[in-house]
Amino acid sequence: MADTAPVALVTGAAHRLGAKTAQTLHTRGWNLVIHYRSQHQKAEALASDLNQARPGSAATLQADLSNLAEVQQLAEQSVALWGRLDGLVNNASVFYPNPTEQATAQDWDSILNTNLRAPFFLLQACLPALRDSAGGVVNLIDIYSERPLTEHPLYCASKAGLAALTKSWAKDLAPSVRINGVSPGAILWPEGEAELDRSHQHAIVEKTPLARTGTPEDIAGAIAFLLCDAPFITGQILPVDGGRSLNM
């Protein structure tokens, strides 16, 4: 595809925050590589909508980010689509409780490989293209990377590691590539937990100074700002949490 528009790869972009991020960048004139693992229909529907708005501006790629060979292939295919890569959004992650007494090696591999190892090697594989374009990277962190969530030690460790990578990369890869992070608070309740105790949800909102949950647009807007409008910002992790981290 011959095009002069900037290109972003967004992992886990078939739905939820990833999809809104893809839509937001698209409205800013970007072409999108929509990565998905299992949400094929949602990914294709999103790409179809974006291509209807601007023909030839979106493509889908499938990869299991816990598999290093597929991570490498995702990077290669993403760059090949338009012959360039200007932005990488490491959005995809695995989230579920695993108390220390019950956690298994499989839990470790599932969470750490997807949430921490995959972003590292995906950026490594995309780095030549990102350097060529003086591109940017945004990693999705979590406020629980600094103030851990009960019974989620592996998830919290993975996000703390990604926060450390964000700052390390910002030093190591400057000045050619900017690296930042966005750290959401309560935005969307986890999938599969529709019956999450309402009093727990209420308690979280009650401790949030802005007295509400955030929206996918809040996160997508912050990501777009860091990629599009912040050429002198690198090595920063922006909390987008309604002030929740002030009361944790």
Rounded Cα distance between 217 and 23, Å, is 10
Instruction: Quickly count: other Cβ atoms within 10 Å of residue 205's Cβ.
Output: 15
Cα distance between the two ends of the chain: 48
Locate 62 and state its tokens.
């499938």
> CB-hemisphere CA count at 13 Å for 19?
17
Among candidates 175, 187, 143, which has minimal Cα distance to 162? 143
Give the DSSP letter of residue 189. P
Residue whose entry in the numeric block shows the structure tokens 């949030």: 208
Half-sphere CA count of 20, side-chain side, radius 13 A: 13
Three-state secondary-structure class, residue 89: strand
The CA distance from 198 to 6, in Å, is: 42
Check if the beta carbon of residue 42 is closer than 8 Å to that of residue 67: no
Catalytic machinery residues: 155
Secondary structure (3-state) at 56: coil
